């Protein structure tokens, strides 16, 4: 399949688009930062100008949609949300150019100068669901990082996605960059997704943005590298040497600031030594904001009214005002729990004991580990990356927040004065 | 397959080994550099002690083998080759520890300290063919970088590989590290390869070392990340502003120093402006060392005795004393040729014009690009990485030479003083 699609033996429309995107990617990769930034400013202006058209297209999508509640809300655009898209593109233009950075540089005894230079990835495929602004964000981040992008949005947001895409291509035209740098699936045919998953040699990187089932399908079937996270089952471990006040502030924020984001804490681990005095305070803080609980046997010995947690609860990313609670005997038991139930996303420890903190930081295989901070800080903006396209939990290339720098790869440049190898 | 194997629904012997390796990898990942280095020194000593046993095992392999010529030579061990294995392990012990390096560090306005810290990958699967020393090199590089490794050698070298493996496990024992950090396929069953290709969640990275068909199979079928290169179709471009003497030295070295390595130049691109005067000199230099040629029409107008090149020749990695020659009109035509026939491995330009050199360095999508140097410098030792496990031509994680630093990934450590997110 890879080989066939990659070599075009069975060229679906997405494969044809990918070929055009690859050609455009060469121009974009060598375009000056000023041209890419100009395209972002112009795209933002075009989105504002086309605001009415975009909202009308979105109304069509909403009319045809049977979606309800949260899903319908994600699909819905408002004048404010359109303005936010435009502002987002302008903020990307203000970021430093991630392309051409010299990442490392050294000189060999024979005088060869070797440097590692940041380069665009090439063609990035973004598969997303109903949220129309994801298309604008993804296109902007790819333009900024010198990548061409192939967008495949959800069928429900097709009209909205097309209207936004037209505005972004107008921005590329204004900057004298190839329109083909941002291309979009012509229709909602599900075969397009399969084509993208198999387009080795044409698409260099896939980024799925959406629910767990989409991400897992892409991770399972893709024949090209994928940056994504399926789960964000984050843990906060309150060690016996934690400052109680700090623990209360961090746990409340890590769970309740926003319950629906992947960096939200789903499970509280607390040391047996401190649980009898601190757990009731943590629980009452959280309950005050509407949090409910799933507690293990030891926690229920301290607070018998807490509902019991099942094995499955500890493996569940609630994305809701629900917190699993387990009492542990020290950092090693906390680490065992995380290795067993975690998703390699983000874990935090609260302690004033540096040796224990170091052991914790070294002991998980998670992309992000925090000491005395809220897991909700796992975010491109909070890391100082500017806009992010998502969070990656794989072991390679980018881990944690994926911003424009993480959308680049590198090449080695070796500069000699005629050296030959002996 | 991935899911089944990964979750052990169909646990073949390799899956069981991978589980043991994963457990060992946690100990190794947190082991001090001193213990890993001690294991390498002890393994080197054990290989020297077991020299007779290893050579006897190798004799058994050779007896059973029907291989001839180059293949038989690769399979053959001598006292010198055994000593070279031991020395290689000792050199790895002398390399700086790649684990725990702080790759980046910064502080956010809210006081959060964020650092990117190098960490082991986890479990690395190495699939190699008949060369028994590859097992020792791979095991050593993985131990040095804190990774557990699962080895699957060629069926023809099974006895040799087992004898070497025993010595390396003895080294791990001496250092108090888990023997399971280096495990080897129990027999030559081809199903073991399929198990490794599908062992997502148990094997984190696959490194195929061998011929093109092995590498391409792994790249096509693997469900886990792969570091490898299928082809090393390297180009040397002699620009019209090249110093003729430098061009002659570099082209001769790039092609003929060692014709069988992946960094050897396979195609010479030379500017039309300089070809009439320089091409005859380059050809006579090379012919003197037994090189033969495949030349395009323009080159044959200058030197009619050169045999003609077919389309297929320009797409062929000869790994032999054969050079493709094409005359081009400037750097853009050279880049077009490289994008069309290249393998994203290593390309070189010879020129005294910095603007042209810069355009060339930016214009390929190869992992390594050289200016006024021989493509044969694409090597871990020459880059200063120490030992290398191979060359990678993918776009992600490691590109170019893969040494111990390239066998690590990273985590973000976020160190706060109780910050919560607003």
**CB contact set of A343 (below 8 Å; sequence gap of 6+):** A229, A230, A231, A232, A233, A234, A317, A393
Residue B191 pLDDT level (bands cut at 50, 70, 90): confident
User: Mean pLDDT across the stretch A7-30?
Assistant: 83
The partner residues of B102 in beta bridges, in order of sequence, read: B117
- When scoring B119, B416, B422 by the number of chain A Cβ atoms within 10 A, the one with the most, hence best to mutate, is B416
Q: Is A400 left (phi over 0), alpha (psi -120 to 50) or beta?
A: left
Pairing mode of beta strands B148-152, B368-373:
unpaired
Instruction: Compute CA A73 distance to the chain's CA centroid, rounded to the nearest angstrom.
Output: 20
Q: What is the pLDDT of residues A78-119, one digit of tens each?
A: 999 999 999 999 999 999 999 999 999 999 999 999 999 999
| Secondary structure class of B374 (helix, strand, coil) | coil
Please provide residue A375's backbone torsions phi and psi, each rounded to the nearest 5 degrees. Answer: -60, -20
Residues of A in contact with B376 (CB under 8 A): 420-421
Q: What is the pLDDT of residues B277-291, one digit of tens each?
A: 999 999 999 999 999
pLDDT at A4: 32
> Is-contact A397 B406, C-beta < 8 A?
no
Residue A52 pLDDT level (bands cut at 50, 70, 90): very high
Whether the pLDDT of residue B5 is over 60: the answer is: no
Please provide residue A326's backbone torsions phi and psi, each rounded to the nearest 5 degrees. Answer: -135, 135
Residues of A in contact with B374 (CB under 8 A): 416, 419-421
User: Mean pLDDT across the stretch B33-43?
Assistant: 98
* DSSP calls for A151-172: EE--GGGHHHHHHHHHHHHHHH
3-state DSSP percent of chain B in helix, strand and coil, to 5: 45, 20, 30
CA distance B352 to A11: 44
Percent of chain A with pLDDT over 90: 79
Q: What is the pLDDT of residues A242-271, one digit of tens each?
A: 999 999 999 999 999 999 999 999 999 999
pLDDT at B215: 92
Alpha helix segments (H runs only) across B289-365: 297-302, 311-314, 331-341, 354-363
Whether the pLDDT of residue A329 is over 70: the answer is: yes
Helix (H) or strand (E) holding B142: helix B133-144
**CB contact set of B273 (below 8 Å; sequence gap of 6+):** B240
User: Mean pLDDT across the stretch A360-376?
Assistant: 95
B395 min Cα distance to partner chain A (Å): 6
pLDDT at B4: 32
**CB contact set of B373 (below 8 Å; sequence gap of 6+):** A112, A414, A415, A416, A418, A419, A420, B250, B348
CB–CB contact A257 B122 (8 Å): no
A240 touches chain B (CB under 8 A): no
Which chain B residue has its CA at the smallest distance from A110's CA? Answer: B382
Residues of B in contact with A379 (CB under 8 A): 421
* DSSP calls for B197-248: HH-BTTB-EEEEES-HHHHHHHHHH-SS-B---S---EEEEE-TTS-HHHHH
Whether the pLDDT of residue B107 is over 80: the answer is: yes
**CB contact set of A41 (below 8 Å; sequence gap of 6+):** A89, A90, A93, A171
Task: Return the structure tokens found at A170.
Answer: 């107008």
B348 min Cα distance to partner chain A (Å): 9
CB–CB contact A400 B412 (8 Å): yes
Residues of A in contact with B366 (CB under 8 A): 411
Please provide residue B355's backbone torsions phi and psi, each rounded to the nearest 5 degrees. Answer: -65, -45
How far apart, in Å, are the Cα atoms of B210 and each of B143, B207, B219, B231? 21, 10, 13, 11
pLDDT at B83: 97
Lowest-pLDDT choice from A42-51, A197-206, B76-85: A197-206
* DSSP calls for A103-163: EEEEE-TTS-EEEEEEEE-SEEEEEE-S-THHHHHHHHHHHHTT-EEEEE--GGGHHHHHH
Residue A129 pLDDT level (bands cut at 50, 70, 90): confident
Diameter over CA atoms, chain A: 78
pLDDT at A11: 66
CB–CB contact A112 B339 (8 Å): no
CB–CB contact A108 B384 (8 Å): yes
Task: Return the structure tokens found at B74.
Answer: 């690769």
Instruction: Kindly report the average pLDDT of chain B as a whole number.
Output: 93
**CB contact set of B6 (below 8 Å; sequence gap of 6+):** B198, B199, B200, B201, B202
Whether the pLDDT of residue B142 is over 80: the answer is: yes
Which chain A residue has its CA at the smallest distance from B201's CA? Answer: A394
Task: Return the structure tokens found at B403.
Answer: 């040494």
3-class DSSP string for B245-261 = HHHHHHHHHHHHCCCCC
Rg (CA), chain A: 24
Q: Which of B22, B23, B42, B26 is nearest to B34 (CA)?
A: B42
Please provide residue B52's backbone torsions phi and psi, each rounded to the nearest 5 degrees. Answer: -60, -45
Q: Which of A185, A128, A153 is nearest to A13 (CA)?
A: A185
- When scoring B371, B411, B415 by the number of chain A Cβ atoms within 10 A, the one with the most, hence best to mutate, is B411
| Secondary structure class of B271 (helix, strand, coil) | strand
B13 touches chain A (CB under 8 A): no
Whether the pLDDT of residue B397 is over 90: the answer is: no
Task: Return the structure tokens found at A133.
Answer: 């602004």
Chain B contacts in chain A segment 130-189 (CB below 8 A): none
**CB contact set of B284 (below 8 Å; sequence gap of 6+):** none
pLDDT at A221: 87
**CB contact set of A155 (below 8 Å; sequence gap of 6+):** A188
B373 touches chain A (CB under 8 A): yes
Read off the pTM.
Answer: 0.91
Whether the pLDDT of residue A328 is over 80: the answer is: yes
B397 closest CB neighbour out of A26, A397, A421:
A397
Lowest-pLDDT choice from A36-40, A135-139, A413-417, B234-238: A413-417
A121-145 as b/e, with b when 16 or more CB fall inside 10 Å? bbbbbbbbbbbbbbbbbbbbbbbbb
CA distance A160 to A132: 6
B386-403 as b/e, with b when 16 or more CB fall inside 10 Å? bbbbbbbbbbbbbbbbbb
């Amino acid at each position: 399949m890879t080989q066939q699609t990659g070599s075009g033996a069975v060229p679906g429309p997405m494969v044809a688009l990918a070929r055009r995107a690859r050609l455009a990617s060469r121009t974009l990769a060598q375009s000056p930062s000023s041209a890419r930034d100009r395209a972002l400013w112009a795209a933002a202006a075009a989105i504002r100008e086309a605001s009415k058209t975009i909202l009308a297209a979105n109304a069509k999508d909403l009319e045809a949609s049977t979606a309800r509640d949260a899903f319908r809300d994600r699909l819905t655009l408002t004048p404010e949300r359109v303005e936010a898209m435009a502002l987002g593109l302008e903020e990307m233009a203000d970021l430093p150019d991630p392309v051409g950075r010299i990442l490392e540089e050294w000189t060999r005894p024979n005088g060869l100068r070797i440097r590692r230079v940041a380069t665009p990835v090439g063609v990035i495929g973004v598969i997303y669901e109903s949220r129309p602004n994801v298309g604008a964000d993804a296109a902007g981040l790819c333009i900024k990082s010198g990548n061409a992008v192939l967008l495949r949005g959800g069928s429900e947001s097709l009209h909205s996605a097309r209207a936004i895409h037209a505005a972004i291509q107008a921005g590329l035209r204004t900057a004298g960059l190839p329109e083909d740098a941002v291309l979009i699936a012509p229709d909602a045919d599900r075969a397009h997704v399969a084509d993208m998953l198999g387009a080795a040699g044409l698409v260099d990187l896939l980024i799925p943005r959406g629910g767990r089932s989409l991400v897992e399908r892409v991770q399972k079937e893709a024949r090209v590298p994928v940056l994504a996270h399926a789960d964000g089952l984050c843990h906060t471990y309150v060690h016996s040497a934690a400052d109680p006040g700090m623990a209360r502030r961090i746990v409340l924020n890590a769970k309740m600031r926003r319950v629906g984001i992947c960096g939200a804490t789903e499970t509280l681990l607390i040391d047996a030594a401190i649980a009898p005095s601190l757990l009731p305070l943590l629980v009452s803080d959280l309950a005050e904001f509407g949090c409910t609980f799933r507690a293990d046997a030891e926690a229920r010995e301290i607070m018998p009214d807490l509902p019991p947690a099942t094995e499955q609860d500890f493996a569940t990313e609630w994305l809701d005002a629900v917190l699993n609670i387990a009492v542990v005997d020290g950092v090693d038991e906390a680490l065992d729990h995380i290795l067993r139930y975690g998703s390699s996303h983000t874990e935090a420890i609260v302690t004033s004991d540096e040796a224990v903190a170091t052991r914790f930081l070294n002991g998980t295989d998670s992309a992000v580990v925090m000491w005395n901070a809220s897991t909700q800080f796992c975010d491109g903006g909070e890391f100082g990356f500017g806009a992010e396209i998502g969070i990656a939990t794989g072991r390679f290339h980018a881990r944690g927040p994926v911003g424009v720098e993480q959308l680049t790869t590198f090449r080695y440049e070796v500069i000699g004065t005629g050296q030959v190898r002996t």
